[in-house]
């Protein structure tokens, strides 16, 4: 699972340069204090195994890729729809960010890093956006969860 988190992180950093923060996270509802916007957190999900002949397993890990945008953007709905006129790519909305993450990760088997061991990479779902807040700092954040599932031999 660690290797997939690192591969996703490296891909998003290299290909979506407007993201100001991309890191592994412990809980999508508690992003670290240092999160910058727009940002992405990557969290481990469920992992299931199917026994195959020759003492091999088909490993099916699921990861959450969580896009974050600030709710303090000046225009109502900007965290979802975007505010690129005044902020450029840093003002992209979560709908556009999720679309670009989906384009990067769907069917991306990271063959450079893993060879042909990953058989399948699929975006299972993109959830509705959700608001979270930090009472101590007063920070309001809009987030969007993207569920990615891989299948590989282990």
Q: 1-23, pLDDT tens digit by residue?
A: 999 999 999 999 999 999 999 99
Per-residue burial over 129-144, b if 16 or more Cβ lie within 10 Å, else e, is beeeeeeeeebebbbb
57, 66, 76 from 39: Cα distances, Å: 34, 8, 19
Cα–Cα distance, 142 to 124 (Å, whole number): 21
Cα–Cα distance, 144 to 32 (Å, whole number): 16
Burial of 21 (0-12, 13-18, 19+ CB in 10 A): middle
Tally the domains of the chain: 1
Which segments of 1-153 does DSSP mark as H helices, in order?
2-15, 78-81, 84-87, 94-105, 111-114
3-state DSSP call for residue 83? coil
Model confidence, pTM: 0.91
Cα–Cα distance, 123 to 82 (Å, whole number): 22
pLDDT cut 90: percent of the chain above it: 65
pLDDT at 96 over 80: yes
Rg (CA), the chain: 17
pLDDT at 153 over 90: no
Please give the residue range of the domain that contains residue 96: 2-153
Nearest to 43 by CA among 60, 30, 57, 59: 30
pLDDT in tens, 35-74: 899 999 999 999 999 888 887 888 999 999 999 998 876 7
CATH number, residue 59: 3.30.70
């Amino acid at each position: 699972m660690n290797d997939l988190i690192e591969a996703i992180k490296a891909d998003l950093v290299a290909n979506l340069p407007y993201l100001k923060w991309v890191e592994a996270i412990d809980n999508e509802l508690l992003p670290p204090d240092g999160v910058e916007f727009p940002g992405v957190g990557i969290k481990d999900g469920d992992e299931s195994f199917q026994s195959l002949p020759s003492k091999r397993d088909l490993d099916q890990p699921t990861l959450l890729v969580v896009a974050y945008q600030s709710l303090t953007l000046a225009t109502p709905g900007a965290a979802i729809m975007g505010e690129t006129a005044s902020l450029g790519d840093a003002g992209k909305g979560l709908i556009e960010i999720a679309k670009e993450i989906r384009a990067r990760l769907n069917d991306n088997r990271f063959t450079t890093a893993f060879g042909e061991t990953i058989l399948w990479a699929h975006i299972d779902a993109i959830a509705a956006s959700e608001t979270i807040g930090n009472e101590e700092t007063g920070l309001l954040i809009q987030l969007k969860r993207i569920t990615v599932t891989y299948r590989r031999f282990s």
